[in-house]
Chain A
Amino acid sequence: MNLRRDVFQAIADPTRRAILLLVASQSLTAGAIAANFNTARPTVSKHLQILTECELLEQKQNGREIFYHTNAKKMKEIADFIEPFRQMWDDRFNKLEDIMKNYKPKE
């Protein structure tokens, strides 16, 4: 599977948002990031992969270790935070649509 990922898909997940917050202040290795979550290590790796694919995170080799840091330019794309607002309305409207599709006039 090789979907093009976008930043909004990346921040739709609370764990990924938490990872971004964590890495925002300092570069960390995958192990150090995973130590902050009680999620399984492969799950954290998957999140890191997604965040890297959509360029919110960048990798930097330092000796034998790989450090992750945030990509400031890409982070700016979500700086106005419109997407969660849009999703909130999208959810609401989806619900409206479902309800009205099953609507039976009472008479």
Chain B
Amino acid sequence: MELKTKVNAEEGQQQLTITREFDLPLDLLFKAYVEPEIVEQWMGTKVLKLESKKHGSYQFETTDPKGNKHCFNGVIHEFSPGQRIKRTFEMENTPFGIQLEIYEFESLTVGTSRLNMQVIYESVAQRDQVLKMPFAQGINMAHNRLQDIVSKLK
């Protein structure tokens, strides 16, 4: 089975690429990155600000199941409709630093398109930390469950 989303993170590099082919025409794919209401839906976040233009900036706020708020922000350096977005990304109050994101949008056929996302981190260590985050969460959840079970046995 061919994977629709591919991640390439070579060892020792401070960047990674994410590639995805969509069953969507290019204009709809691009719109999903521009319309605040749509970004809110698929990113699962609140969009406080999204100025899709050069020198524009954005601010997202996500509330986790515990009610804690997490803020994200960045500045848009290039905005070429249907082609390219270059922006920075920062997860506030985390040790992950500031990332540079380069989005390349490409039309494949009338009904399909591709997104190529290049993310550059401040260091190799930071990139690896971000990569491990979802796995660490999964492990912790499994661990907590294990602890719950074990404590019930006592």
Q: How many pairs, one residue from A and one from B, have CB atoms within 8 Å of each other in the complex?
A: 92
Q: Is A22 positioned at the interface, with any CB of B under 8 Å from its CB?
A: yes
Across the interface, do B143 and A18 meet the contact criterion of CB distance under 8 Å?
yes
Across the interface, do A18 and B134 meet the contact criterion of CB distance under 8 Å?
no
Across the interface, do A85 and B135 meet the contact criterion of CB distance under 8 Å?
yes
Across the interface, do A95 and B41 meet the contact criterion of CB distance under 8 Å?
yes
Across the interface, do A85 and B42 meet the contact criterion of CB distance under 8 Å?
no
Across the interface, do A14 and B141 meet the contact criterion of CB distance under 8 Å?
yes
> Please, how many angstroms separate the alpha-carbon atoms of A95 and B45 in the complex?
13
Partner of B29 from the list A37, A82, A100 (CB cut-off 8 Å) is: A100
| B-chain residues with CB within 8 Å of residue A89 when the two chains form the complex | 5, 7, 18, 20
Partner of B142 from the list A17, A87, A96 (CB cut-off 8 Å) is: A17
- Closest-by-CB residue of A relative to B134 is A84
Across the interface, do B131 and A36 meet the contact criterion of CB distance under 8 Å?
no
Across the interface, do A101 and B149 meet the contact criterion of CB distance under 8 Å?
no
Across the interface, do A87 and B41 meet the contact criterion of CB distance under 8 Å?
no
Q: Is A21 positioned at the interface, with any CB of B under 8 Å from its CB?
A: yes
Interface size on A, residues (CB 8 A): 30
> Please, how many angstroms separate the alpha-carbon atoms of A36 and B119 in the complex?
40
Instruction: Say whether chain B's binding surface is mostly helix, strand, loop, or mixed.
Output: helix
| B-chain residues with CB within 8 Å of residue A83 when the two chains form the complex | 135
Q: Is B11 positioned at the interface, with any CB of A under 8 Å from its CB?
A: yes
Interface size on B, residues (CB 8 A): 39
> Please, how many angstroms separate the alpha-carbon atoms of A15 and B18 in the complex?
28
Partner of A93 from the list B4, B139, B150 (CB cut-off 8 Å) is: B4
| A-chain residues with CB within 8 Å of residue B20 when the two chains form the complex | 89-90, 93
| B-chain residues with CB within 8 Å of residue A99 when the two chains form the complex | 32, 38, 41-42
B102-147 contacts to A (CB < 8 Å): 115, 128, 130-136, 138-139, 141-143, 145-146
**Chain A interfacial positions (CB closer than 8 Å to B):** 14-15, 17-18, 21-22, 36-38, 80-90, 92-97, 99-101, 103
For the complex of A and B, list the 7 residue pairs with the smallest distance between their C-beta atoms, beginning with the closest.
A81-B135, A18-B142, A84-B134, A90-B5, A96-B42, A84-B135, A86-B7
21 contacts between A and B (CB under 8 A): A18-B142, A18-B143, A18-B145, A22-B146, A36-B146, A36-B150, A38-B152, A81-B131, A83-B135, A85-B7, A85-B131, A85-B133, A85-B135, A90-B20, A95-B41, A95-B42, A96-B42, A99-B32, A100-B22, A100-B31, A103-B31
